[in-house]
Structure 1
Amino acid sequence: MPSPAVDDYLKTIYHHTEWQADRITPSQLAAELGLAPSSVTEMVQKLAAQGLVTHRPYGPIALSAAGERRAAAIIRRHRLIETWLVREFGYGWDEVHDEAEVLEHSISDRLLEGIDERLGRPTHDPHGDAIPDASGHVHREPFILLGAAAAGHSGRILRVSDRDPELLRSIETAGVAVGAQATVRDAATLRIDGADVALPAGAASAVWLSA
């Protein structure tokens, strides 16, 4: 049955491995959701009983095929709504997350399909995160985190994390945009359009480039 609480768990587990390979641990999941570890342990057991996750006691958590399909469906809703709010209503990319968190649970499938069609079937949201299609499939190209990129590496800016709205605003103010071509000078500096762009503290772990 639809459940915002279940969806939030599944979204968090899904999102954790989108841009790195390590599976999420129960303690990391508790920290991400701002919940007590005991509450998370109980819910993970329920999700496992429903066939939505696989998990061994004290081990990392992975989505089952059914859990991944459900997570992809709610993430599709969230990211289409974010894209809609930016394109159609003039929201900043640092403002859309909380609005999408509310709307993703309330809009109908018919309205979601209309939004997708009106937007031209976008494949990525304003932050560069992939939007699953109606079947749950996504396309991602090889990527590297800025903090792990060597000086001289060139690539397109694929994604900027929306975890910290203040950092997101600072990165935008610095002149960084998803899709821009950039060359790494160091972990705190990118060369974009022939000019060196100084990045705010924290950007090295919040910006991804094409590999």
Structure 2
Amino acid sequence: MSGTAQYLLAVYILAQRGEPPVAPGAIGDLLGKSPATVTEMLQRLESEGSVTYEPYHGATLTESGRERAATLHETYVTVSWFFRSVLELDEHEAEAMEMAGLVSPSVARRLAATLPYDDPVADRS
């Protein structure tokens, strides 16, 4: 995944788990990156208009950043599910985090079509 896409996805996921702003340390922990690397990328994302960044506090997605991150998250979920269900990878989430920004939405939709879905309605009959 491109660096910016990976960081946007990380901010999005962490923001869903708690209140923004997302601490740089939490981003670094999720991505396995150093504090300096996280700070540099958050500054880049801020200059692109994807996040607002307050040093020592964290990052909050802008509206455009949130839209892009939401699309990345949909792809991440699909790829993760594919890696877990079809390829039976143990590290499916980490692998999906790496791949989500590289997979187009049309490819993600095609992957989703191959996934084994459980039909909860059928299971009740």
TM-score computed with the length of structure 1 as normaliser = 0.47
Partner of 1:54, secondary structure, is strand
1:129-152 alpha-carbon deviations (Å, 9 max, x no partner)? xxxxxxxxxxxxxxxxxxxxxxxx
Partner of 1:154 in structure 2? none
| Cα pair distance change 1:84/1:36, threshold 3 Å | closer
1:65 Cα deviation (Å)? Answer: 0.9
Partner of 2:6 in structure 1? 8
1:64 Cα deviation (Å)? Answer: 0.6
| Cα pair distance change 1:121/1:21, threshold 3 Å | farther
Partner of 1:111 in structure 2? 107
Following TM superposition, the consecutive aligned residue runs of length 4 or more in structure 1 with deviations greater than 4 angstroms are: 118-122
Aligned residue type for 1:81 = V
1:5 Cα deviation (Å)? Answer: 0.6
1:80 Cα deviation (Å)? Answer: 0.5
Partner of 2:60 in structure 1? 62
Specify which structure has the higher proportion of helix: 2
| Cα pair distance change 1:107/1:19, threshold 3 Å | closer
| Cα pair distance change 1:22/1:107, threshold 3 Å | closer
Partner of 1:70, secondary structure, is helix
1:96 pairs with 92, 96, 110, which one? 92
Aligned residue type for 1:26 = P
CA contact (8 A) 1:51 1:64 kept: yes
CA RMSD, aligned part only? 2.7
Q: Identity over aligned residues, as a percent? A: 25
Separation in 1, partners of 2:95, 2:58: 30
Partner of 2:23 in structure 1? 25
Partner of 2:50 in structure 1? 52
Partner of 1:104, secondary structure, is helix
RCO higher in 1 or 2 (8 Å CA, sep ≥ 6)?
Answer: 2
Partner of 2:121 in structure 1? none
Specify which structure has the higher proportion of strand: 1
Aligned residue type for 2:30 = E
1:90 Cα deviation (Å)? Answer: 5.4
Which shifted more, 5-14 or 110-119?
Answer: 110-119
1:91-144 alpha-carbon deviations (Å, 9 max, x no partner)? 16x44224323443443433222223444899xxxxxxxxxxxxxxxxxxxxxx
Separation in 2, partners of 1:120, 1:90: 12
CA contact (8 A) 1:16 1:23 kept: no
Separation in 2, partners of 1:81, 1:33: 17
CA contact (8 A) 1:17 1:23 kept: yes
* Within-5 A mapping of 1:115-154: 115-119=111-115
Gaps of 5+ in 1: 123-211
Partner of 2:122 in structure 1? none
Partner of 1:24, secondary structure, is coil
